[in-house]
Structures are given as C-alpha cells and as structure tokens.
Amino acid sequence: MIRNLLGFLPWIAYAVIATGDEWRYGALAGLAIAAVVIVADRRAGKKWDEMVIESSAVVFFVVTALISFTAPDSPLTPYGPALVNAWLALTAWGSLAVRRPFTLGIARSMAPPEVWQTPLFYRVNVVITSVWGAAFTVAALSLALLLHGAPHATAAVIAIKVLTFAAPAVFTARYPQTVAARRAV
C-alpha cells in the first residue's frame, strides 16, 4: 500500500515547492520525481496500468512547466493547488469514462489473480476510483473558491489538501475489507 502511495509523491513535492513564483520549480520537481518514480517502477516490473497517477503527473507537470516558463505571470499561477486537484479529478473521472478505473492496476498488484475478472473486483475499483474522483473534485472547487477569495489562507489550503487526500486514502484501505467481510457473512 505504501509503495502505491509513492505515485502521489510528485504531487506532494509540487504542493510544497509551488508557492507564489516558485510554481515553475515545483513543476520541474514534480516532473523529475514522476519520471524517477516511473523509471524505478518499470524496472521493478510494475505495469503501466499500475501507474496511471504517475503517468498523469508527467503530462500535468510538462504542461505546467511550459506554461510557467512561457507565461510566468499567468492568471493561473495562484490557482496551482486547485489545478492539481482538477487534473487529478479529470484523471479519475476519465479513467471511469473509459471503463478502466485508475485503481484497477494497483488493486491487481495486491489481489490474487483469480478475482481480477470478477464483477465484484471491478465494482470495488469503480467505487474507490469514484471516491477519489469526488475528493479531487471537491478539493479543486474548494481550493479555487478559497484561493479566489482568500489567497493567503495557507492553513485552510493545507486543511483542504490533507482532508481530501486522507479521507479517500482511508476509504481505499478499508472498503475492500468491508466488502470482503460482507461477502463472507
């Protein structure tokens, strides 16, 4: 589980570094970390469907770095935290739209092969991906509104980020066990 959370490391690095004018360096750091994580994971035998978040990070940070260097005074600058969550929401909802929940590959790495093709396995991953998508969406909207109205409310920004990451992470850890316990009854 902890190994799979490393996919969020580029996003965390960006969040820490990308404050004010530092967004270009945050984008470069996020891109570098995402690339290192992908290379290390591929060398360790991880499949591409296990690295949707990492792959999405590369695209986001390439685009963000290009914008940050070509238009450093972009009106998007203060909305970096909201944009990260909007991108992650698009990644989650997009994976559901193509019927490949981004959690599916990760779940396959932790579940026995005999359950991979079951409708329940797929359904559990749809629910988990939906929870992440909802959390990212709530975070994106909340952060956009907050940053528009109170751009220096750092504690509130951090609280939104932590809550909207911790809640789906806890859900992800517990939900499959809850479903399994219900099935066992």
* Residue listed under structure tokens 């988990």: 128
Enter the tokens of residue 110: 């932790």
The span from the CA of 85 to the CA of 102, in Å, is: 15
Classify the phi-psi angles of 46: left when phi > 0, otherwise alpha if psi is within -120 to 50, otherwise beta: beta
Could you tell me the pTM of the whole model? 0.90
The span from the CA of 165 to the CA of 53, in Å, is: 14
Enter the tokens of residue 126: 């749809």
Of 20-24, 98-102, 161-165, 172-176, which range is least confident? 20-24
Q: Please report which residue ranges of 101-153 form alpha helices under DSSP H.
A: 104-108, 119-149
The span from the CA of 63 to the CA of 31, in Å, is: 10
Q: Is the pLDDT of residue 81 over 60?
A: yes
User: pLDDT tens digits, residue range 13-53?
Assistant: 888 887 666 788 899 999 999 999 999 999 999 999 999 99
Provide the pLDDT confidence category of residue 77 given band limits of 50, 70 and 90: confident
State CA 87 to chain mean position distance: 8
Q: Is the pLDDT of residue 118 over 90?
A: yes
Higher pLDDT, 5 or 149: 149
State CA 123 to chain mean position distance: 20
